[in-house]
Chain A
């Protein structure tokens, strides 16, 4: 049973929420009416979901949510308030609340909001577990099939400094993300020659971009077949190149592998956001 912590200064509201939650298969592990014990209680009880009232005397629901998020950036807080106007909703989105339900609380609406959050979390957990192996598989297959050379795929740590050429393939889906292929120009040229038997002239970058597109497309197809809830699709690739190029993805956790071939190395870095953008 999933655990819920109720935060509200009104004992009446707390008991209504507690009844709704218990009747719908959730375990109410605790109730908090003031900010003092909030963090200790959260840490001790480790709830899956926190319901948070907004209007409270000492600190309001936004401040309390921020306190919890500082403690646990992945905390799932659902705001439960009599006010649900644009300003309030904007503020809630800014602090990355996971859901928002208006009082008087409709049981079905609250339960659905919670289930949406939990299923998103399940989807993310599965995606996180399997995406690297799918991208590694796609990368290796594409190198072998398209260039007829072998590749060793090894785990690696991402370097922010590019080797010279970086192809970014933006990914949309239930959880959005991106794939980056990074290589030096010598490797790009060798790869292009192996992929495209004719004169490559000035087309090296186009060929490399198309290669990235195929790798990413293959990888997300594998993922979508494993779980149709991922809903992944890729945007056209963009190439960045230069001697002094750095890549940063502050808001995302990503994983890296390097494909080692006789003619060079290609770094593949891929990651997806956990973000809860969909509740509004």
Chain B
């Protein structure tokens, strides 16, 4: 897996978040994990197939998921991670991945993306089909959004 792949996804976050009304986007830690990861909160998985094949899993804790959903819904209060909030996070992952696939295309790599699937819960373990998963932490208005990039 090409580590440069990360940049296309980072660019997507930089492009899309301001459009949704978030003011600051900062890249945090980058780490490489084995194919096993454990997360509590919300995960959105989107598949990519084309010149490269794999999945991206966006993850965030419940509080941040609610805050992000609220911001996307023009500040409407989000008290529970209900269907509206789930829909917002699903749409976010769709927008980010769509933008990333455009960036990839500009760079000569063509991929199609799938619809997102949303998973949530406590202490969920993930086994991706990839030797290594690239994890990038991004701070969006001080909220942690993680990108877990699993490509063959």
- Give A contacts to B, CB under 8 Å: 166, 168-173, 176-178, 180, 205-206, 209, 213, 233-252, 272-273, 275, 277
Find A238's partner among B55, B90, B98, B118 (CB 8 Å cutoff): B55
Closest residue to B128 on the A side, CB-wise? Answer: A238
Closest residue to A233 on the B side, CB-wise? Answer: B49
Q: Is B61 close to A, CB under 8 A?
A: no
Are A251 and B122 in contact, with the CB atoms below 8 A? no
Distance in angstroms between the alpha carbons of A233 and B54 in the assembled complex: 12
Q: Which of B47, B49, B124, B125 has the most CB of A within 10 A?
A: B47
Find A178's partner among B43, B47, B49, B50 (CB 8 Å cutoff): B47
Q: Is B150 close to A, CB under 8 A?
A: yes
Distance in angstroms between the alpha carbons of A238 and B83 in the assembled complex: 23
Prevailing SS type, chain B contact patch? strand
Distance in angstroms between the alpha carbons of A234 and B47 in the assembled complex: 8
Are A241 and B127 in contact, with the CB atoms below 8 A? yes
Are A172 and B127 in contact, with the CB atoms below 8 A? no
Find B121's partner among A178, A239, A246 (CB 8 Å cutoff): A246
B28 → A minimal CB distance (Å): 23
Are B46 and A170 in contact, with the CB atoms below 8 A? yes
A-B contact count (CB 8 A): 124
Are B118 and A170 in contact, with the CB atoms below 8 A? no
Q: Which residues of B contact A176 (CB under 8 A)?
A: 112-115
Find B43's partner among A209, A239, A240 (CB 8 Å cutoff): A240
Closest 3 CB pairs of A and B: A170-B47, A235-B47, A170-B114
Q: Which of B48, B54, B90, B112 has the most CB of A within 10 A?
A: B112
Q: Which of A237, A238, A240, A250 has the most CB of B within 10 A?
A: A238
Are B152 and A236 in contact, with the CB atoms below 8 A? yes
Q: Could you tell me which residues of chain B, from 96 to 117, have a CB within 8 Å of some CB in chain A? A: 98, 112-117
Q: Which residues of B contact A180 (CB under 8 A)?
A: 117
